[in-house]
Amino acid sequence: MEERNWARCDAAGLLAEFFELDDLRRLVLDTGALLGCPMLVLDDTFHVAASFSPVGFADPVFRETVSTGVVGYEVGALISQSPALSRGAADYVKPGQSPYRRRFAPLVSSGVRLGYWVCVDLDGHLPLIPEKTWQTVEMVLAKQLFVEASRQDKPFETAQDILMHLLDGGFPSAPYFRLQIALTYLADFHPYAFALADLSRYRLVHPGQGPLREEIENRFSQPHSFLYRGNVLLFLGQEGERELLAPLAEEFRLTVAVSEPVEDLYALPALYKTTAEALECMLAPDFPGGSVATVAQLRTPLLLRGLVGREDLIPPALRALAASDRQRGTQYCQTLYRYLTCCHSLQKTCDALFTHRNTVLYRVRRMQQSFGIPLDDPAAHTQLLLATSLLLLEQEGPGFFL
């Protein structure tokens, strides 16, 4: 097909169709026919909002996605691992079980990412389509997706839709939420906690291993897992299931943060916010704490996050102590932290540091005499502990507190 045919998609016809029909599925059918390729439009929950498949097209990944109505976690991983998509640009990626690569493009309207447009490149012609054509179609599809997402009277089709709406802050009150879940399994759903798994390092390690979604369903009692904002969210039925996360993370190269216990399902948004922040800590390049951690383990760095960069809150004596550590390669700040958290117990400090008593005693005396650290002043304890923790967060990263 000649280039002039590709340009038809940015003509007035497509825009007129957008204003006249108000129908995303019809837009996708016509656009797919004009561009000559199978395509999907995914909403922000990675569900299929519309699709087009020409006669005779056969692809197992595409077929399964359309039949289930949601992309596999492997496709979610491809999106998470693409630097171009992360910064809002289109990119070509290829699912492992398909012979065809796809062009993924984020659909953005009014600065909000509403989903993705996925085009299957059957014969290598997609890169020949002018960029202006892509931009026009992306704009039209994003606007239509925004219109359909803005309709507040759309009924919830599944319990998963309800959970996503809850996480998005869509329920104004607990009674209204409980009314919505009354006829779903959520009415009697009482998970112990939930896990949030990052897919940016995801890969299948063992040949013949089942897809991640299938493995999750097989290993956990009631995971009810789904993709949310690019991560996999799965529920733990009981505390013991937390032990199942480490082998799963190792096998699929996941990074997993575990929430605090879920006492009330309506509290899920607040728990999710903290768990997402914990996962962000774990994704730091210098995080040494392994592939699975709990919010409880990372509570100290999470509390300190808002104070990072506030050197004005750190006493001059502690700033001098930290500078000495950097210049001489010493560990006075770590010793001070352990000494304070061990309530001035030399024995417990030695055990925590795996250091001889005489060495710790020498450091404590030097901190008092050479740096003027007021270790004998009970009123200074909290200030010293917080300030030292902040210094160590900046120097060692959140993994230090595990």
All structural domains of the chain, each given as residue ranges with its CATH number in brackets, are 3-149 (3.30.450.40), 159-297 (no CATH), 307-401 (no CATH)
Helix axes 159-167, 174-181, angle to 10 degrees: 160
Q: Give the model's confidence band at 4: pLDDT under 50 very low, under 70 low, under 90 confident, else very high.
A: very low
pTM, two decimals, is: 0.74
Q: Average pLDDT in the 70-95 region?
A: 84
pLDDT at 15 over 60: no
* CA separation for the pair 276, 18 (Å, rounded): 37
pLDDT of residue 13: 57
pLDDT at 6 over 50: no
The dihedral region occupied by 203, where left means phi > 0, alpha psi between -120 and 50, and beta the remainder, is beta
* CA separation for the pair 80, 306 (Å, rounded): 26
* Residue 201 near residue 255 (C-beta atoms within 8 A): yes
The number of beta carbons lying within 10 Å of the beta carbon of residue 298 is 26
pLDDT tens-place string over residues 336-383: 999 999 999 999 999 999 999 999 999 999 999 999 999 888 888 988
pLDDT at 236 over 50: yes
* CA separation for the pair 292, 357 (Å, rounded): 33
The dihedral region occupied by 187, where left means phi > 0, alpha psi between -120 and 50, and beta the remainder, is alpha
Q: Give the model's confidence band at 220: pLDDT under 50 very low, under 70 low, under 90 confident, else very high.
A: very high
Q: Give the model's confidence band at 174: pLDDT under 50 very low, under 70 low, under 90 confident, else very high.
A: very high
Q: Give the model's confidence band at 24: pLDDT under 50 very low, under 70 low, under 90 confident, else very high.
A: confident
pLDDT of residue 154: 54
Q: Give the model's confidence band at 272: pLDDT under 50 very low, under 70 low, under 90 confident, else very high.
A: very high
